[in-house]
Structure 1
Amino acid sequence: MASSSSPINSIVNLFHFHKVDRNVYDQLLGHGTEPSVARNVVALLIWLDTIGLDVLSYLNDHASNSYAFLRLVAEADAVLDCLRRDAPPRDSALAIPVLASLSDQPIDLGFFYFNRHVATKRIAGVLSGAGRVFFDDALYASFLRYEEAAADAWKRNAAPPPLPEELARTYELGATAATSSEDQRSLFLTFSKGFPLTKEEIEAYFREKWGDCVEKVAVQKPAAGSVVGPLYGRVVFTRDGYAGLVLNDTKVYKFAINGKQVWARQRRWNRRTRCARSILRTIALAGEDEAGGEELAGRGILETNLTAVAAGDGPEAPDQKQRVFERLLLLRLRRRRRRFNPFTTSFLF
């Protein structure tokens, strides 16, 4: 029961509106589904609900029936897999019988493939918008505590408890998606050696698959005189939900663009990498191009920049130079120990 003084677009009312969605999400987790997959499934079901398939109520009503619940979840996962495919599915008429039974019109996987631009846009919108609120475990725990206290006060005919500050905040539609960082909306792409890809090829692939979903693309800028083309790149989506749809429950997703193999993953910056990035943003760096550094710089450029600063081209702060020397030494030791690996490279943008 929401407080009468809370605005209609408050966080607490958002939880009330999506209470069934959150219950289904918790049930998915209880059945062993990975959180990333569970979020994608619930976002898909919310979109299906808007086009006339009352799947959320069906799941909520059949929560105690494990077979019916897991059957519909498996069909939702099949739809998500269909949205990621590069070709129409075959023999899709009997692949989603439960979903088909909830529709007034004939529906199969081909329907979702044909409408994949609309579907992925709506799913990514949920994941990047309201979903970032009602999927938040800390906020949901606060909501449950408030609901329990409010129900207890109502039974005792007492005044309702004050609404917690985090639940009283207003939710602006689209504001959550707009504040997501570029790292959250990005995927790092690795190419097969000898089969490089251009920015135009990568952008065209995702736009053909999911519509206007790409903000920008960058690829490695090979060293001067190098005969090897780009080995890696980065795609930045308009919403972080698109990155989640690509990976789903995998850490590395393999696919092909124009017959060339690509491996996609989302970079998780560790403490050491964040420290290096902070230093490099503070110090005046060489190596960025005139476009503002959109091209990727690899380990070689990173070491060149650090060497220049350590030689005295940068600020004179002794502690800053010491950090630069330590980072430079670490890079050289790691280079001696192992070969270059694009997955462990500290990229600069």
Structure 2
Amino acid sequence: MNSIKAISADALAWLDAQRLPPSPSNYRLAYSYHDGEHPELVKAVRAIVDDGVRITQAETDTLHERWLGAVTTESAKRADEARTAAIRHQALGLAELAASATATTGEFGRELERSIPELAEEGSASMQELFARTLERTQRAERELAATTAQVQQLREKLEAVQGDAERDALTGLPNRRGIDAYLGADARREAAHVFAICDIDRFKSYNDRYGHAVGDRVLKTVAASLQETLADHFVGRWGGEEFIIIARTDVSDGVKLVEAAKTALGERHFKLRETDEPMGKITFSAGVVPLPVQAAEHEAAFAAADALLYQAKEAGRDRVFGG
């Protein structure tokens, strides 16, 4: 029997391949599908996906409602509340430190203002006392401000780490759909001509069916590493499932050549099954390459055009790159 960890990994990989978000209800359906404890649910899902058709969110919701019932969001709500409380606690601590530093410097300013007449009347003794108090206040303010700065830095680093994790695919280390969207949203990326390419590993399902999802995951990681290595000067992300995207600052003609070079480099790698040393054969992908419009509103049409070219490449025999 598969372990809970293995079933969880398979469920998440399946959701990714179906381009479904890992929401509580979707994850519960995927987990139930892979643990096999609901045969009728497994049969219903397979009736949809066995021919390579991706299951839709609407179909997922219908199956979940029928076989598993409404899932409670209470645990997700508690998790969100805990994260919010932790951030709020840190924010309050920073506010208190900043307020304390502000109060200290304000007190010093008021005391200095009050002491000015004394300087004129009492001479150097008052001056020395004032300097001592000034030094003490200044040192205290510096310590508190330094503590505030350190806290702010720690919070910034934590937030950057969370954001980085949210925008990066856990399996391959490449930017995920959120990271890709962030990259596409930067105006600097659209100052010059760019191309957008979608690459899909040929016959990827056969690797999972023949060798298991662990080997399929290794294939995905190897393809990702090969693309990163060959296209080091360009943006590479995981679009979802066995699909990767490339964004390069060039025109379509040169973009096709870039992707062809990446495909050739992948084809020159020799793959063996780690457990038995059995050769796995050449791993290939098909791709569609299109110009990336300057206007973000036109991106969806470009993605659809690249996807159409990709499937033309598949229908033409796979292991091909089509540009348009």
TM-score (norm: length of structure 1)? 0.23
**Larger C-alpha radius of gyration, 1 or 2?**
2
Which protein is richer in helix relative to its size? 2
TM-score (norm: length of structure 2)? 0.24
